[in-house]
Structure 1
Amino acid sequence: MEKYDKLEKVGEGTYGKVYKAQDKTTGQLVALKKTRLEMDEEGIPPTTLREISLLQMLSQSIYVVRLLRVEHVEKNGKRLLYLVFEYLDTDLKKYIDSYKRAEGQILSRFPSRVIQSFLYQLCKGVDHCHSHGVLHRDLKPQNLLVDKEKGILKVADLGLGRAFTIPLKSYTHEIVTLWYRAPEVLLGSTHYSIGVDMWSVGCIFAEMVRRQPLFAGDSELQQLLHIFRFLGTPDEEKWPGVSSLRDWHDYPQWKPQSMANALPLLEPEGIDLLSKMLEYNPSNRISAKEAMEHPYFDNLDKSQF
């Protein structure tokens, strides 16, 4: 790793630390994701191998962060693995927060054209993953990197990503940061598909509009109750099979709130798209490919993407 100057630590994920660094030869800024390999392990951890293979497969899209190379280092009896990524200067969470205050002033809104552009790029990145048979499973603003100068958004951190197949296999339900977790996962379903990512996309869409999370629960139960209060308590008519999910109970009965009242800054086409992303029945939830054709994007210059 003598090729790089580490400039600063920029993050710490589930599986390792991330540093901003500079290639000494080219001057290129990169992000180094360091994973320590324990000495008693035979080779590289499966989670790391999975992430590397997924990233190598998905890096052809400019809407997925690019893995440049992988470096294996042995130092002082320790084995380290560095994933070398392209460097982007911020993430969507920080970008949204920057609009909350500017020079002491609270800004009225995140620009609608930026929301539209970022959401379209997010759908492009997610569709690229799904079309290659990969669920991300941890989409959240912190895992979406932003190039502020170019206005580009990229999907990152595929540590929880996994290939999915048809028919669907049983997966762990301990996925996705709580605020962006789909109701079928919260209710204990282990058979799920691309709908889990599209629910997260809907939550991120609403957060860009509101500049704060839509459902901010502090436990799985609280998270479900936040969702039910807003969208109405689901039943067999709205979502066939919901009452047979593992963690289903008799919940308080709420009627759906008006999405337009809750997000007054979002135009009717945006409300319609959001409602299709936050559809209870996963089989009826809009896909990323379908979302890109939605009228919400009709006045977006798609030729630039």
Structure 2
Amino acid sequence: MEHTPSELCFPQLLNTSCRKPTLPQSEVVFLHTLVSSISLLTVALNLLVIISVSHFRQLHTPTNILLLSLAVSDFLVGLLLMPVEILRKTSCWFLGDLMCSLYICVSYSIPSASVGNMVLISLDRYVAICDPLHYTTRITVRRVKLCVCLCWFCSVFYSSVVLKDDLTQPGRYNSCYGDCVVLFDHTADAIDLALTFIVPVTVIIVLYMRVFVVAVSQARAMRSHITAVILQRSVTLTAKKSELKAARTLGVLVVVFLICLFPYYGMTLAGDSLLNTSSAFLGIYLFYFNSCLNPVIYAMFYPWFRKSVKLIVTLQILQPGSCEANIL
């Protein structure tokens, strides 16, 4: 079927150019406006988290280092993945095959890093609640920083291996100029699903179920009227109240993350029939929208975040010695 030049992404390449997307203009404008707004909000909110944890010395704790790493991945989702993904779906790809391959690699690396960060957060809470006496010796800032670096390295390395063919031969799966796609065989799909969804999510759920059971039993022990000697002994074995509160807050974070993650990977479980539909598009953007929700959860549950945002917005962090401010 012949197409007029106005219908093509590259009119000068009549036989090899892709057709322009046929979405109504009003729908394209609406989608661009909506995604741009969410993208800007995601970037701004996560930038506040990054500045807060990086600037204030009181916030340099193992748990907050993990939140910082998660905020970096969320920041990159808002800065890169949201705007580029909407352009890829609603217009022709004009950036070339190499940029397409690099974008797809990045779009796999960042979500993998987010999942890895959630596993590390769950491990942190597990040790804090289930083994509080050894928490300060086992979970140190240095070890957490090392784990975060390994998490990011493994995510990038894994994505590079999975997309090796596409990176070495950019555009090999594109049927025409103006397209940006990646294809996996069923074996690669199954491996990716297991390594980036089934195994991490199982670990997260098992750890948090254990945390929940121990936290409930400890809360009951603290409320029960037992003798002073037993109470005094149990205090040393019981996680601090602040740790229980942190576990609750991070539990909300993990639950919201899992809710947003399931539709994203559910498309792979559903098979090829749904991968290029509007349902798949909504699944991807629900997962990306989680990056905007995480800072909102911090604002709801963490007084230190609200306090630090106030200091950042009023530019008080520019004053000498502001990094030593009492935030907690």
TM-score normalized with structure 2 length: 0.27
Q: Which has the larger radius of gyration?
A: 2
**More strand by proportion, 1 or 2?**
1
**More helix by proportion, 1 or 2?**
2
Higher RCO, Cα 8 Å, sep 6+? 2
